Structure 1
Amino acid sequence: MQGTCTAGNTAVTRKQCRSLAMPQPRLLLTRPQPGAAQFLERLSPALRTGAVISPLIEIVPTGALVDLAAFAGVIFTSANGVAHAPQGGGMPAYCVGPQTTEAAGKAGWQAQMAGLDAKAMIATLSGRTEIGPLLHLAGRHRRGDVAGILNASGLTTEVATVYEQHLLPLTAEAQTLLKGSDPVLVPLFSPRSAQHFAREAGHTQSVIAVSISHAAARALEGLPLYAHDVAAEPTGEAMAKTVEKLFRRTTLP
């Protein structure tokens, strides 16, 4: 029996697949700068060629004055928090994910990764009263009440909102790319950006979506997509690997 593959929603033989001569996918990056450019550098040259960057979120500092004198350490749930925080001066920082941890270390914090996502970080820190009080340096829009949950566990935690996340429309270039018949790889790095993409995208039939988490993936339910996958873990490295995998799967016979 001949093997089969999928072209759109149709199962065809491997021989037929080879004759379809599917165009090479283009990449559409929607994460804020400089994160979009940094992610692009992780990818192979074939993916970088012709990539379109159309951030759906703009990161803007709030100008909040942060006084660390009353705290024994801080929490970072994103690299944006690090970018808009004071220099660490060797103070402990409990971070979500390897990229945020690396950024905090470079900014002078005594950085340690407390989990791959906020849920894992909360599990790691809950009840550890000896490391507090802590200050969560965060954005205006955040998933879950990290400080509230940690406070309930006995670990005193406050929040300082150091940046805003303003929603942006997809650019005309991005909309034109989506209207075409060629496949478009779209990595989505948060539930909020996935929700906004679902509202903004005029056409999604050619979209190969890559979601950073199942929460982000749920925001795309109901959209007509060419294909959809979820990264193995919520990290930039796992997202890059998934994008590369789907790119190869789409272009190789």
Structure 2
Amino acid sequence: MVPQSRALPVLVTRPEPQASRFARALLDRYGKRVAPILSPLLAPVFLRPDLPGGAFGSVVLTSETGARAAAALADRLPHRAFCVGDRTAEVATALGFQSQSAAGDAESLFNLLLAQRDAAPFLHLRGREARGQLVTRLNAAGVESQEAILYAQEPQPLSPEAIRLLTAGGPVIAPLFSPRSAEVFRRALRDQLQGADPAGRLRIAALSPAVAAIFTDFPPANVSIATAPTLEELFLALDRFIFIA
């Protein structure tokens, strides 16, 4: 394959610190082929809720932000943690939890918890916006579980640099990691670009089909979907836009 002759702008909309870490990973993989532009569209706000009563065997963590929020309550929580993916498990381990990764998505985590029901009751520590109804499904399967909301991801506007990029000419690559971030991005495109339609220039690299579903009105050639919800598979989806055959 032949690399692009100029750096392609990659709009990084993840919250911090994930945004800066992902920008470094882009540069490590693609070098001068890409120019990351950071414009986090979500910012965490940590809450201090009353936790459900009772003795829990393990906590369940579905994001690294959740792991950081849980660490602030570590003296009130069990130390065993089941995590949706490797990065969440790495962060939880560094914060003092004994972590096990489901190495996948919410469905993988659900199946892991069913297989580890001896570690229940489970306490799912999550953000305000969540998908998958994990606790409801576990209880329906006879696995005692409760949840607590430890943080909210508040929408942020596109940065001035991102707006200039999206209203100028040329392609823009946008990797997106969750349906929530994709929805916030679509609203920002509608509300902040003053009628400009970047659909023909945007290249969406979606971590999952649920993310891609937010962009069904885009040209199919402009949406690339990772075959599994991992960073490596997302990079393979990005390769389609960053290299040309």
Residue 239 (structure 1) aligned with residue 227 (structure 2): no
Instruction: Give, in angstroms, the shift of residue 240 of structure 1.
Output: 3.1
**SS at structure 2 position matched to 1:84:** helix
1:166 paired residue among 150, 154, 169: 154
Q: Residue 220 of structure 1: CA displacement?
A: 0.9
Corresponding residue number in structure 2 for 1:178: 166
Which residue number corresponds to residue 103 of structure 1? 91
Matching residue's letter, 1:137: L
Distance 1:35 1:47, change over 3 A: farther
Alignment-derived partner of residue 32 in structure 2: 46
Say whether the 8 Å CA contact 1:42–1:240 is kept in structure 2: no
Instruction: Tell me, yes or no, if the aligned pair for 2:123 and 2:148 is still in contact at 8 Å.
Output: yes
CA shift, 1:212, in A, is 0.6
Q: 2:85 corresponds to which letter in structure 1?
A: G
1:77 is aligned to 62
The match for 1:199 is 187
5+ unaligned residues in a row in structure 1: which ranges?
A: 1-16
**TM-aligned CA deviation for residue 65 of structure 1:** 5.0
Distance 1:59 1:170 in 2: 16
Pairwise CA distance, 1:214: 0.1
Paired residues, number: 231
Contact kept, 8 Å, 1:206 with 1:225, in 2: the verdict is no
8 Å contact from structure 2 (residues 177, 207) kept in 1? yes
Cα deviation, 1:153-204, whole Å, max 9, x if unaligned, reads 1111111111001112212211210112221110001011112212222323
Q: 1:185 and 1:74, CA in 2 relative to 1: closer, same or farther beyond 3 A?
A: same
Q: Which residue of 1 aligns with 2:223?
A: 228
Call closer, same or farther: CA 1:68–1:22 in 2, change over 3 Å: farther
Q: Distance in 2 between matches of 1:23 and 1:226?
A: 21
Q: In the aligned structure 1, how far is the partner of 2:51 from the partner of 2:132?
A: 22
Which structure dedicates a bigger proportion of its chain to helix? 2
Structure 2: distance between partners of 1:67 and 1:246: 47
CA contact (8 A) 1:182 1:206 kept: yes
Aligned counterparts of 1:129 and 1:97: Cα–Cα separation in 2? 19
Residue 224 of structure 1 and its aligned partner are, at CA, apart by 5.2
Structure 2 counterpart of 1:171, which letter? S
CA contact (8 A) 1:213 1:230 kept: yes
Preserved contact between residue 128 and residue 152 of structure 2 (Cα < 8 Å) = yes
- Matched residue SS, 2:67: helix
SS of 1:111's equivalent in the other structure is strand
Distance (Å, rounded) in 1 between the aligned partners of 2:37 and 2:86: 26
Partners of 1:69 and 1:175 lie apart in 2 by 49
Match among 3, 11, 19 for residue 36 of structure 1: 19
Distance 1:46 1:225, change over 3 A: farther
Aligned to 2:44: 59
For the 8 Å contact 2:59–2:122, the answer to whether it is kept is: yes
Percent sequence identity is 32
The amino acid across from 1:29 in the alignment is V
Q: Secondary structure at 2:102's aligned position in 1? A: strand
CA shift, 1:236, in A, is: 2.5
Q: Given the two structures, how large is their TM-score scaled by the length of structure 1?
A: 0.82
In 1, Cα distance between equivalents of 2:37 and 2:124: 33
